[in-house]
Structure 1
Amino acid sequence: MTTDTLNKVQDTSKVNDTRKAELLSSPVEHIDITDFDARPIVEAMGKMSFTSRDLANAAKIYNTMLEDKDCSIILVIAGSTSAGGCMDLYTQLVKSNMVDAIVATGATIVDMDFFEALGHKHYQAKEIPDDDTLRSLYIDRIYDTYIDEEQLQDCDHTIGRIADSLEPRAYSSREFIKEMGKWLADGNAKKPNSLVQTAYEHDVPIFCPAFVDSSAGFGLVKHQVDAMKRGGRYMVLDAIADFRELTDIKIKAGTTGLLMIGGGVPKNFTQDTVVCAEILGHDDVEVHKYAIQITVADVRDGACSSSTLQEAASWGKVSTAMEQMVFAEATSVLPLLASDAYHRGAWKNRAKRAFAKLFD
């Protein structure tokens, strides 16, 4: 361990703690929505009240999206549900043609999904020692979930190497994540079921509008610094291209539905495509016809993780006819919603959009 690391630990007497292997001994197991049928419980919850009825209504809206032959579905992910056990759930939605495009945080795509594709894992915390002790052991914590920081640095450096291999020019996050998927599919994946690789193989584009705010950022900074030291050129990320490309998808899709886990930048970025299309002269562009948001944020701070869906209607982004806010921690309700939709099977009759091919 370097002196730098020691300086970040408040109580250096804990540096020699030998408990790392013990603390990283219980991997998170990702839920399989094909392994259980949630239809009966979702139907029963629809006869209840409070969050139960909200969830049942959200499930009904999602099934309606899947049944609507004209509706393209955008999955929006913020927060740490992938680390918490929903990673394979998202992959199954792509495999089953239940989503057509993805907008997510960089942490979701890189720190969690790509990280596990490299063969690393997230771990359940059986106990939570002092966080300075965790720092001395190079263990990062997400609530009650652990990550080995040394493995996360492997992820950083891998992103840097992928960037080094590319032509030095501007890339949208979609383009770069496509290259990550291609790299995994070319025999480098140690876990075959990642969202990044599966989306690449099914022509489902992934956008990360704040991509550098993740493990990817460290690798990309190293890529640029190394290139500058060599006196050479380097790749850059084009955030404007992200917005333009996702707006292109909205224009092409016409009718759209949003399945949003969390909120923040991915949520607002996706909703704003309606306004952007109008700015580009597409006065006939539809607002997002369907919208579901699962969140623990509320309106007390004036935000609700980028406005309630009703508020978004005032901006001309979302219809209020088929929308549902579900105020719940997503890992507790999303598996029910996704399993219900999977077993109802409307996805079997959906046309594949393959929106990634728009940019070939």
Structure 2
Amino acid sequence: MTEATNDTRPNDVRKAELLSTEVEHIDITSFDARPIVDAMKKMSFTSRDLGRATDIYNQMLADKDCTIFLVIAGSTSAGGCMDLYAELLRNNMIDGIVATGASIVDMDFFEGLGHKHYQALDVPHDDVLRSLLIDRIYDTYIDEEQLQHVDHTIFEIAETLEPRPYSSREFIREMGKYLVEHGKKENSLVKLAYEHDVPIFCPAFVDSSAGFGLVKHQVDSVKAGKPYMVLDAIADFRELTEIKIKAGVTGLLMIGGGVPKNFIQDTVVCAEILGHDDVQVHKYAVQITVADVRDGACSSSTLQEAASWGKVNTAIEQMVFAEAGSVMPLLASDAYHRGLWKDRPVRKWGASFD
């Protein structure tokens, strides 16, 4: 064994030890949450809130005129809800997605390329993790070298595209197409969205590994004196508002807050500004969050507060103040096993832009 091998082996072994236990994503089809959700409806506090939120989601599924948007912020995808969201899409339980770039790129697309998230069963000093090229999300690990593979893949996709403006929906569709041809995971939300014509919007798309790859694409193109593709955030807002106008009745299933929450709610106001005075507020709304309302931030603003802006109906809404990873499996399993999705119309809003 050479001296160089002796120098590198301890780090390799330590990294392998830390990245040894994969996060296993929950399968909502494997258990029936209906009995426990029904029991929780008879309780108080967050349990009863979750019971009512589940009822509202089932109302969305039962309303054949309702287009349902899944709205995701935070790290639930990395934490074990990735297959849950994929199951909702596969079974026509959602019609569109608005999410953070991290949820779509750093988590779902990342696993679509064959990489994994790991449980942080041992958490050394974060400077040690940095030296091992391990990124930490609370008690979850990501291999930074694998995340750089995502950066480079985004760059490669951008390099193949005609140099023009793209909405995030258009670019994510190209990512889904890439996974169909080169992916390593069938249960990827990005891949399934491409196959089922379900549009995904990321209004802050470059706040993720996509940003690094797209910056490299732009810089390399400028150096070569060539035109380059760009993301058009205004097109995101316009396209999403077009869906809202055409859809009429809409429901929101929101995990967390942030930009995705405000973006989808603002489509009502945008439609009015475009002259559609008859546009309906979002009829149904559920938000699961741990954000505190007292600081006045939009991420924590209640759905009742959103009603004052003319965005959400106050009659059929529910806030659930809970960590989403602990309650979404119950809500989603309950809805899956009640089966109201089985005769919902298939909308394919993604195909409306072709």
Same fold flag (TM > 0.5): yes
Aligned-residue Cα RMSD (Å) equals: 1.0
Distance in 2 (alpha carbons) for counterparts of 1:350 and 1:192: 23
Given that residues 17 and 133 in structure 1 are in contact (C-alpha distance below 8 angstroms), is that contact kept between their aligned partners in structure 2?
no
Q: Distance in 2 between matches of 1:34 and 1:53?
A: 23
Aligned with 1:353: secondary structure?
coil
What are the superposed Cα offsets for residues 310-341 of structure 1, whole Å, 9 maximum, x if unpaired?
00000000011000000000000000000000
Q: Check conservation: 1:267, 1:306, Cα contact below 8 A.
A: no
| Alignment counterpart, residue 167 of structure 2, candidates 172, 190, 201 | 172
Report the CA distance between 1:304 and its aligned residue: 5.5
- Name which of 254, 260, 265 aligns with 2:254: 260
Shift of 1:192: 1.5
| Paired residue type of 2:80 | G
TM-score (norm 2): 0.96
Superposed CA offset, 1:79-123 (max 9, x none): 000000000000000010000000000000000000001110000
Q: Does 1:343 align with 2:342?
A: no
- In 2, the alpha carbon distance for the partners of 1:18 and 1:255 equals 55
Select which of 256, 279, 285 maps to 1:285. Answer: 279
Q: Which residue of 2 aligns with 1:184?
A: 179
Q: Is the 8 A contact 2:288 2:323 kept in 1?
A: yes
Deviation at 1:282, TM superposition (A): 0.4
Deviation at 1:184, TM superposition (A): 1.0
Spell out the pairing of 1:216-295 with structure 2 (5 A cutoff): 216-295=210-289
Question: 1:191 Cα deviation (Å)?
Answer: 1.1
- Distance in 2, matches of 1:258 and 1:30, equals 23
| Structure 1 residue ranges without an equivalent (≥5) | 1-14
For the residue of structure 1 that corresponds to 2:315, the secondary structure is strand
Q: Which amino acid aligns with 1:253?
A: A
2:304 to 306, 310, 322: 310
Alignment partner, residue 83 of structure 1: 78
For 2:94 and 2:12, how far apart are their aligned partners in 1?
45
The question of whether the paired residues in 1 share the 8 Å contact of 2:91 and 2:341 is answered with: yes
List aligned pairs for 1:114-153, cutoff 5 A.
Answer: 114-153=109-148
SS of alignment partner, residue 146 of structure 1:
strand
Percent of aligned pairs sharing the same letter:
80
- Verify the 8 A CA contact 2:176 2:194 in the aligned structure 1: yes
Take 1:197 and 1:49, find their aligned partners in 2: how far apart are those partners?
39
1:326 to 320, 330, 339: 320
SS at match of 1:166: coil
Distance 1:352 1:285 in 2: 22
The aligned amino acid for 1:334 is M
**Residues 247-285 of structure 1 deviation map (CA, whole Å, 9 limit, x = unaligned):** 000001000000000001000000000000000000000
Answer whether contact 2:292 2:300 (CA < 8 A) is retained.
no
Match among 64, 71, 96 for residue 69 of structure 1 = 64
- Stretch of structure 1 that moved more, 202-211 or 302-311: 302-311
One-letter code aligned to 1:19: R
Instruction: Give the residue type in structure 2 aligned to 1:129.
Output: P
The DSSP-based 3-state class of the residue aligned with 2:279 is: coil
Matching residue of 1:25: 20
SS in 1 for 2:184: coil
Instruction: Please give the per-residue CA displacement for 1:116-174, whole angstroms capped at 9, x wherever unaligned.
Output: 01110000011211000000000000000000000000000000000000000000000
Report the equivalent of 1:10. none
SS in 2 for 1:69: coil
Q: What is the Cα deviation at residue 302 of structure 1?
A: 1.0
Rounded Cα–Cα distance in structure 1 between residues aligned with 2:329 and 2:35: 13
Letter in 1 for 2:312: V
The residue aligned with 2:3 is none
